[in-house]
Every structure is written in structure tokens, then in C-alpha cells.
Amino acid sequence: MQTRKIITYFLAWRVLLFIFLLLAIETFPLQLNFLGGGLENYLKNPLLWAWINFDGEHYLDIAYSGYKSLTYFYFPVFPYLTKLVSNFTNNDFAGTAWTGLLVSNIAFVTGLLGLTSLIKLDFKEKLVRPTLLLLLFFPTSFYFGSFYSESLFFALVIWSFYFARKKKWLLAGLFGAFSTATRVVGIALFPALIVEAILQWKEKKGNLKLAMISAFSVMLGIIYYSSILDAKTGDPLEFFHSVEIFGSQRAAGFILLPQVFYRYLFKILPNINYEYFPAVFTTFLELLTASTFLLLVIVSFFKLRLSYALYSAIVYLIPTFSGSFSSFPRYVLVIFPVFILSAIYFTKLSRGIQVLISLLLLTTLGIATALFVRGYWVS
């Protein structure tokens, strides 16, 4: 697939998100908490500030004025990169906001280009289009265009895998190290690249020693961030120990996956206020996403490269250890092998079923985007 077509897909998706935003302004009442930039800024320019709600506020504050107490949960590469770029553009508050969105969107396009190249290493080019469309249509894909670290992490992981597959291990390790300083789930690359190195060694390809060194270097990113936390707070795992502040559903200890499903089925679902649509929508989206991706992650061990499957499983499991599927529909965005696997099965369906699934995904994307940009919690 040509770069021009990928950029066209991205631009069409971006326009669609703005349409959803405009419709949301006319449809959903505004929730006043957790608005990007505060209420005054939001009301003046929702086309900008609506994409910085919730966690986006924290990333923007870190990029603009640095870390403060209780913000160490957010890893540094995305806000620091935003700060760096804003020094060459406009480093006031609004300028930093625009810069962060620019960084996020450019990173997403870069990730899409890398994903296309990665797919073509194992599959025919015809699988690229359905994979990209399923990713773009996914209900929480709007986070890729928001002031969040998802798009940057997505791009770093994709290109780390691509360089590993092409046996350019120094670059694979470098991109991997940046990924672990971007999101904690970047540590999934460490065992995944070790497996990839062994697979290539068994195929009598590449330098096993160099590959292993590069795989281990992935951990340098999170080690670096932990050393900073140790110096500033006295706790190198502050990002982990502060998880409880982000909701009563989350725990700082480890909760097993069956316990999380049990909690949803027997404690959360029976006690939802079914008259409050945003809570109902979000809860069922969390449970459906967790169930669907669990099945696909399991299947990936039989259908995809082992390094991809292992990465998928670890990225899936890490958020569940907090005892909740809260934010899970956003966290799974970076499990790119599942989207490849989904596309494989999607292409085997009849045209009518494909259209039906696409419309269902787009409708859910529209609702989720509308809720998010109007200040309702989605993921």
C-alpha cells in the first residue's frame, strides 16, 4: 500500500473524528470535570481542548511545567518530546497543547506506515487495508489523535519489531528502550524480542549475541525513569504504587484475571446505574473488549509469530493486575498483532457481514468519541 493512501486513510479518519466532535457539541451536555485546559479554554476552543481531556490534562501539565506530586504515573517520553518540540514552535500553554497533538498525530501516521511494512513481511499486501481499517474504526481509536501517549508508544513498538525482524537489532533496542520510558507495558518487548532473537537463531539468521544485547537494552528506558523517581521521591516504583489514586476499582497489589472477570460479572454489572448511559456504555465496552481480546490473544499463539503472541499476552495482562478493566479499551490499542489476526478472519467473512461489523464499529467509535470530547469517562 502506498504511503499516499495510508495518509489519506488517516486524514479521512481525522475528519470523521472532528465530525463526531461537532455532533457531540450539539448532542451531549458538557461534563465540567477533567476538561482539557479547564472550562474557560474548552468553551473558547473545543476543537483544540476537547482532545486533551482526562489524562491529557496531566500530560499537558507535565509538558508545560514539569512533574508534580502524583503525576509520576505518567511516563516521560511523550510529554518531554512535546516540550522539546514546543521550544521550536510555541511554548505557551496553548502552543504546547497544539504541539502535543501534532506530535501524537504524526507519531500515529508513523506507526501506521510501520505497521504496513511489518504486515508485508509475513502476509500479502491485501491484508494491510483491513488491518488499518479495523484499527481506525476501533471504538477508542480517537486516543491516537488525542494528547495521549498511545500513538507514540504504538509507533515505537511497531518500529522496534520491524527493525528486529529485519535484523537491525541496534535500532530495535533503541526504539524498545524509548517505548519502556513511554508506557510501562513497553516491558512486554523485552521477552518478545528475546523470543524473536531465538527464532532467528534457529532459522540460522542474524547475530544471536547482538540480538540478545539489544533485547536486554529495551529495559534501559524504564530503568532510567525508575532511577529518576528514586532520586525525586525515594521510590523507584512510584508509578506503580500510585495506581490506586486513579480509581477505587484499582489496587496496588496483583489481582488475577479470573478475579477481574468475576468482579465485573457479579459485582459491577449488577450495581450499575442503568439509567446513566455513559456508565453503562463504558462498562459493557470494557467487558466486551476484555473478552474479545482474551480470545484473540489465545488464538494468536497458534496463528501468529510467537514473539507477536507473547507481546500481545503480556500487554493484555499487565493492566488487569490492578484488578480492573478500566481504561482497557484504550490499552488494547497497542496490541497490533490482534488487529492483524482480526483482519485475517475479517477478510474471510461475507461482504454483508464485513459492512455490518464496520458500521457497528463506526457507530461505537462515534459514541465513544462524543462522550470523551464532552468530558465523560470512556477509557
pLDDT at 287 over 70: yes
pLDDT value at residue 240: 79
pLDDT computed for residue 251 by the predictor? 53
Domain assignment present for 137: yes
Mean pLDDT value across residues 205-232: 94
Output the pLDDT for position 253: 62
* Residue range of the domain that includes 141: 1-148+351-379
Q: Is residue 33 part of a domain?
A: yes
Task: Please compute, for residue 29, the number of CA atoms within 13 A of its CA located in the half-sphere on the CB side.
Answer: 5
Number of domains in the chain: 1
Q: Which amino acid is at 303?
A: K
Residue 28 lies in a domain: yes
Q: How many helices (H) and strands (E) does the chain have?
A: 19, 0
- pLDDT at position 243 is 63
259 pLDDT band, cuts 50/70/90, is: very high
Query: Would the pLDDT of 55 be above 50?
Result: yes
Domain annotation covers residue 339: no
User: Within a domain: residue 144?
Assistant: yes
State pLDDT tens for residues 332-366: 999 999 999 999 999 999 999 999 999 999 999 99
Going by C-alpha positions, the residue among 240, 238, 7, 248 that lies closest to residue 113 is 7
Please name the residues in contact with 78: beta carbons below 8 A apart, sequence gap of 6 or more.
59, 63, 100, 103, 104, 148, 149, 152, 153, 182
362 occurs within a structural domain: yes
Cβ contact 319:98 at 8 Å:
no
Q: Distance (Å, rounded) from C-alpha 354 to C-alpha 360? A: 10
Residue 67 domain-assigned (yes or no): yes
- Tabulate helix, strand, coil % of the chain (nearest 5): 75, 0, 25
Model confidence pTM above 0.75: yes
Encode pLDDT of 162-206 as tens digits: 999 999 999 999 999 999 999 999 999 999 999 999 999 998 877
Checking if the pLDDT of 248 tops 50, the result is no
Among 44-53, 83-92, 201-210, 322-331, the least confident range: 201-210
**Residue 249 pLDDT greater than 80, yes or no:** no
End-to-end CA distance of the chain: 31
| 43 within domain boundaries | yes
